[in-house]
Structure 1
Amino acid sequence: MKNEVIDAIVSPEGRLDVLSRAEVNKLLDTSQGGLYRTFRNCSLAVLNCGSTMDDGKELLERYPSFSIRVIQEQRGIKLEVKDAPASAFVDGKMITGIKEHLFAVLRDIIYVSDEIYDTPKFDLNSSYGITNAVFHILRNANILRPRINPNLVVCWGGHSISRKEYDYTKQVGHEMGLRGLDICTGCGPGAMKGPMKGAAIGHAKQRIKHGQYLGISEPGIIAAESPNPIVNDLVILPDIEKRLEAFVRAGHGIVVFPGGAGTAEEILYLLGILLHPDNMDMPFPLIFTGPASAADYFDQIDRFIEGTLGKAARQRYRIIVDDPARVAVEMLAGIKEVREFRKQTGDAYYFNWQLKIDKVFQMPFIPSHDNMKNLALHKNQETHLLAAHLRRAFSGIVAGNVKDEGIRAIEQYGHFEIQGDAGIMQLMDSLLASFVTQHRMKLPGKKYVPCYRISQNAEPVA
């Protein structure tokens, strides 16, 4: 079936009016070393808003003739798109929210290239340098809101969830919106869209006119999780590690809904950070929640966490089943504790500088077959480091499931081999099997073919 496409020229609306000639030349460079490929792929993902597709490779192959070009004029810049998805337009005009997202992509890709990677100002081999880079990317995107009390709740969860679970995420978002809380998600469909939709209604009831619906993405995942139309602030971080850091630095509390491998990755990332000795006394409300039908899902997650990271990790979160109002009330109370802690310690309300993030959580992990096979999945290490390596394992599975480069690597070289201590591997195998059984690895109706194979080390690591 041929996809409907449209050609158009669009102008920015106060987001990005001027580029230098050098910046334009970078974006026009279609060689392997240029920015064009990243810019094109992220732009196509944004224009694909509302699609049910969750396969980055499939999206790129569905629109092979799509192109986007920067036109520089004396009065500013415009973007020329050719063979763009027709769903991004109404009566031949690009939808305003999609146009804003398109220029947000341009803004972030140019800024990261020029101001983060092409200057010596940021030491991306040091923990502080990486955190400083994340801060500057968020500040440049104008999504940090000073001079207001903490109120941003990060919501994590899967794009492949049931209708009942999706409706529940809306109910929780609605209860949080009624209490004046803003929402941040990974910006895609499913559990990333529902809380924003519910909060928007709650904000409307309370006549809150400037609610924030922040979407944080990265080039590798955005094609599989195109920004949903409710997102009014979009920021593209350069990789998954910086994206995860942006969530926990900017957010004041986190609600986790049912999900798959990506949600497990996010949980392990945050728990690993909270288990660091320097963060033991830092308040950070973390709630796992879903409808009654998701109770078994959270039991499985809970068993996996206790079996791998121990009882201390279980103390850092609460599980609330089928009670949206209670989730909102407890999150609001937790955020009040965050405010008092930040006030007493002199930390910013809009960016958590004091949170200690070990470098192992920050350095980009390339999920090659060798790197996946050599992960240190054993208990002969500090618990927060085990969490970091487990996070990388799930990150690789996400790449193999939905990311263009990951899917191509699996097609070329076969399954990722994941190996480690017997106890950990048994727990991981059981958890992943439950995700497959519950259809959490792909959108409903799509057959899931595993991109991984679990095996056990002959002997525990000494």
Structure 2
Amino acid sequence: MLYEDRVDALVAPKGALEMLSQDEISRMSDDSGSLHSLFRSCALAILNCGSDSDDANAVMEEFKDFDIRIVQQERGVKLQLKNAPASAFVDGKMITSVREMLFSVLRDIIFTYHEYNLARGLDSASSDKITNVVFELLRNANVFRRIQSPDMVVCWGGHSIVRNEYNYTKRVGHQLGLRDLNICTGCGPGAMKGPMKGAAIAHAKQRVHTGVYLGLTEPGIIAAESPNPIVNKLVIMPDIEKRLEAFVRTGHGIIVFPGGAGTAEEILYILGILLHPKNANVPFPLIFTGPKESADYFEQIHAFIGDVLGKEAQEKYQIIIEDEVAVARAMKQGLEDVRHYRKAHQDAFYYNWKLHIPEEFQHPFEPTHDKVRGLNLHFGQETHLLAADLRRAFSSIVAGNVKAQGVAYIKEFGPFEIHGDKLLLEKLDALLQAFVTQQRMKLPGSEYIPCYKVVTE
């Protein structure tokens, strides 16, 4: 130990990658290469698990002396850590869950960028190819299980939620766990942690020893939303679009808790998919829920969806307020419908092959001022296409809020400008202002400086 909050350590793998080729080690060890930088930042996020900061740059600055190296030994590889956060250790020994996730990071970065070279290989790929790549990334992470009935519930919601909302997510997770259901989230704090915590307690009560707490993240957001310690399967997808596809391919139903721009992005993503004509008859239970204090929040979301996407979109979900038992029962029934449909259509339980995801929802959207300004936020187009560009607008705000690259971009060039139909933008601006007022854009106590400007003139 160098000083009070830093540790040097040599760590052996647990639960993931054990052997690497010389070429892989060389790529990951090149200080000037992007892979080493990516691995370092993701590893620091894992080691900083439990941090109360959502400022990726602040974390990197605080631990700017941190470094991580791959050490090749006769019996496999180890990781040499220098100036690592002491919170990842107990009495000089790394916490087991942290060690597992640390090697999951190494596994996913190598498999994604070395084997697939996704940065260049999928720019113009077909929809089917992208879906198969998502499958292979998840399979490599040992996500898939042989199950007799659909049981994976995806829980979406904000990392910046108040205490009563967080407690409610735990109660919902508890009711899901009592019914032997598993949890998948974005793996961070807040509404991503609460359901897992509740389900873990319920699984202990039911003597379920195989509970799955699947966390899906991506490099641009992991430092701002470090994985919570309950996650026992972590997968780092290469970008937000493949992360979102992984949610809907592996999950059998979705519960949405209160959140901010990121949650709105997720809602528009799933609604855009469900609104596509090819998915008209595909069952996918979708529930919006929160405590009674969050009723106004969901009224705002519901009204926005109705005003912008129409009644058909509103019919794709149900809203249940302050009733965790009703939520769990409704989800359990919805999963029965999924089971019958998958059996009738000979579709796998572990991966939703039948769901059609248009390419507009699959190809990465890297926000720039020109791209954001050029989004087609106008009425008079197919609803799922409008949902796709609304999703990109919220994705841009997330990038400007918490992703290190996006934050730096906004700092240099100023806020994104969002253009479109005046009425649509007025509805959008009102929703975003509500998020700001309710402190849903940043963790409580942080001053929020908007990274966007809605141009309604």
TM-score range, shorter chain: over 0.9
**Residue 168 to residue 118, structure 1, CA distance change in 2 (3 Å):** closer
Q: Provide the C-alpha distance between the structure 2 equivalents of 1:353 and 1:121, rounded to a whole number of angstroms.
A: 22
- 2:450 is aligned with 1:427: no
1:235 match: 235
1:260 match: 260
Q: Provide the C-alpha distance between the structure 1 equivalents of 2:346 and 2:234, rounded to a whole number of angstroms.
A: 28
1:78 match: 78
TM-score normalized with structure 2 length: 0.98
Unaligned 5+ residue runs, structure 2?
none
Shift of 1:12: 0.6
What does the per-residue CA deviation read over 1:368-409, in whole Å, with 9 as the maximum and x for residues that have no partner? 111111111011211000000000000000000000001001
SS in 2 for 1:6: strand
SS in 1 for 2:226: coil
Q: Provide the C-alpha distance between the structure 1 equivalents of 2:261 and 2:232, rounded to a whole number of angstroms.
A: 27
Q: Look up the equivalent residue of 2:197 and give its one-letter code.
A: K
Q: Work out whether residues 47 and 84 of structure 2, in 8 Å CA contact, stay in contact via their aligned partners in 1.
A: yes
2:152 match: 152
**Residue 328 to residue 118, structure 1, CA distance change in 2 (3 Å):** closer
Shift of 1:5: 1.2
- Please list, as runs of the form range in 1=range in 2, the aligned pairs for 1:235-384 lying within 5 A after superposition: 235-384=235-384
Q: Work out whether residues 177 and 198 of structure 2, in 8 Å CA contact, stay in contact via their aligned partners in 1.
A: yes
**Residue 22 to residue 119, structure 1, CA distance change in 2 (3 Å):** farther
Q: Provide the C-alpha distance between the structure 2 equivalents of 1:23 and 1:75, rounded to a whole number of angstroms.
A: 16
Shift of 1:294: 0.1
Shift of 1:186: 0.1
Q: Work out whether residues 123 and 129 of structure 1, in 8 Å CA contact, stay in contact via their aligned partners in 2.
A: no
Q: Work out whether residues 44 and 223 of structure 1, in 8 Å CA contact, stay in contact via their aligned partners in 2.
A: yes
Q: Work out whether residues 378 and 421 of structure 2, in 8 Å CA contact, stay in contact via their aligned partners in 1.
A: yes
Q: Provide the C-alpha distance between the structure 1 equivalents of 2:102 and 2:14, rounded to a whole number of angstroms.
A: 11
Q: Provide the C-alpha distance between the structure 2 equivalents of 1:423 and 1:213, rounded to a whole number of angstroms.
A: 41
Q: Provide the C-alpha distance between the structure 1 equivalents of 2:49 and 2:14, rounded to a whole number of angstroms.
A: 19
- Please list, as runs of the form range in 1=range in 2, the aligned pairs for 1:165-176 lying within 5 A after superposition: 165-176=165-176
Q: Provide the C-alpha distance between the structure 2 equivalents of 1:391 and 1:45, rounded to a whole number of angstroms.
A: 26
SS in 1 for 2:448: coil
2:27 match: 26
- Please list, as runs of the form range in 1=range in 2, the aligned pairs for 1:99-248 lying within 5 A after superposition: 99-117=99-117, 125-248=125-248
What does the per-residue CA deviation read over 1:57-91, in whole Å, with 9 as the maximum and x for residues that have no partner? 21111111111100001110000011111111111
Shift of 1:147: 3.5
**Residue 120 to residue 51, structure 1, CA distance change in 2 (3 Å):** closer
Q: Provide the C-alpha distance between the structure 1 equivalents of 2:309 and 2:120, rounded to a whole number of angstroms.
A: 38
Q: Provide the C-alpha distance between the structure 1 equivalents of 2:299 and 2:154, rounded to a whole number of angstroms.
A: 22
Q: Provide the C-alpha distance between the structure 2 equivalents of 1:273 and 1:117, rounded to a whole number of angstroms.
A: 27
Q: Look up the equivalent residue of 1:404 and give its one-letter code.
A: A
Q: Work out whether residues 123 and 363 of structure 2, in 8 Å CA contact, stay in contact via their aligned partners in 1.
A: no
Shift of 1:280: 0.6
1:17 match: 18
Q: Provide the C-alpha distance between the structure 2 equivalents of 1:218 and 1:148, rounded to a whole number of angstroms.
A: 30
Q: Work out whether residues 184 and 214 of structure 2, in 8 Å CA contact, stay in contact via their aligned partners in 1.
A: yes
**Residue 450 to residue 121, structure 1, CA distance change in 2 (3 Å):** closer
Shift of 1:123: 8.2
SS in 2 for 1:35: helix
Q: Provide the C-alpha distance between the structure 2 equivalents of 1:387 and 1:27, rounded to a whole number of angstroms.
A: 38
Q: Provide the C-alpha distance between the structure 1 equivalents of 2:347 and 2:311, rounded to a whole number of angstroms.
A: 29
1:6 match: 7
2:408 match: 408
What does the per-residue CA deviation read over 1:81-126, in whole Å, with 9 as the maximum and x for residues that have no partner? 1111111111111111000000000000000112222799978621
Q: Provide the C-alpha distance between the structure 1 equivalents of 2:271 and 2:296, rounded to a whole number of angstroms.
A: 21
Q: Provide the C-alpha distance between the structure 2 equivalents of 1:122 and 1:140, rounded to a whole number of angstroms.
A: 18
Q: Work out whether residues 161 and 259 of structure 1, in 8 Å CA contact, stay in contact via their aligned partners in 2.
A: yes
Q: Work out whether residues 118 and 238 of structure 2, in 8 Å CA contact, stay in contact via their aligned partners in 1.
A: no
Q: Work out whether residues 372 and 396 of structure 1, in 8 Å CA contact, stay in contact via their aligned partners in 2.
A: yes
Q: Work out whether residues 216 and 247 of structure 1, in 8 Å CA contact, stay in contact via their aligned partners in 2.
A: yes
Measured on the aligned residues, the alpha-carbon RMSD in Å equals: 1.4
Shift of 1:48: 0.6
Q: Provide the C-alpha distance between the structure 2 equivalents of 1:210 and 1:307, rounded to a whole number of angstroms.
A: 43
Shift of 1:168: 0.2
The runs of 4+ residues in structure 1 deviating greater than 4 Å are 118-124
Q: Look up the equivalent residue of 1:15 and give its one-letter code.
A: A
Q: Provide the C-alpha distance between the structure 2 equivalents of 1:123 and 1:420, rounded to a whole number of angstroms.
A: 27
Q: Provide the C-alpha distance between the structure 2 equivalents of 1:140 and 1:309, rounded to a whole number of angstroms.
A: 37
Q: Look up the equivalent residue of 1:401 and give its one-letter code.
A: N
2:42 match: 42
Q: Look up the equivalent residue of 1:385 and give its one-letter code.
A: L
Q: Look up the equivalent residue of 2:315 and give its one-letter code.
A: Q
Q: Look up the equivalent residue of 2:358 and give its one-letter code.
A: D
Q: How many equivalent pairs are there? A: 455
Q: Provide the C-alpha distance between the structure 2 equivalents of 1:225 and 1:147, rounded to a whole number of angstroms.
A: 30
Q: Look up the equivalent residue of 1:182 and give its one-letter code.
A: N
Shift of 1:3: 7.7
Q: Provide the C-alpha distance between the structure 1 equivalents of 2:70 and 2:447, rounded to a whole number of angstroms.
A: 39
Shift of 1:14: 3.9
SS in 2 for 1:420: coil
* Amino-acid identity (%): 60
1:96 match: 96
**Residue 119 to residue 146, structure 1, CA distance change in 2 (3 Å):** farther
What does the per-residue CA deviation read over 1:281-322, in whole Å, with 9 as the maximum and x for residues that have no partner? 100000000000000000000011011111000000000000
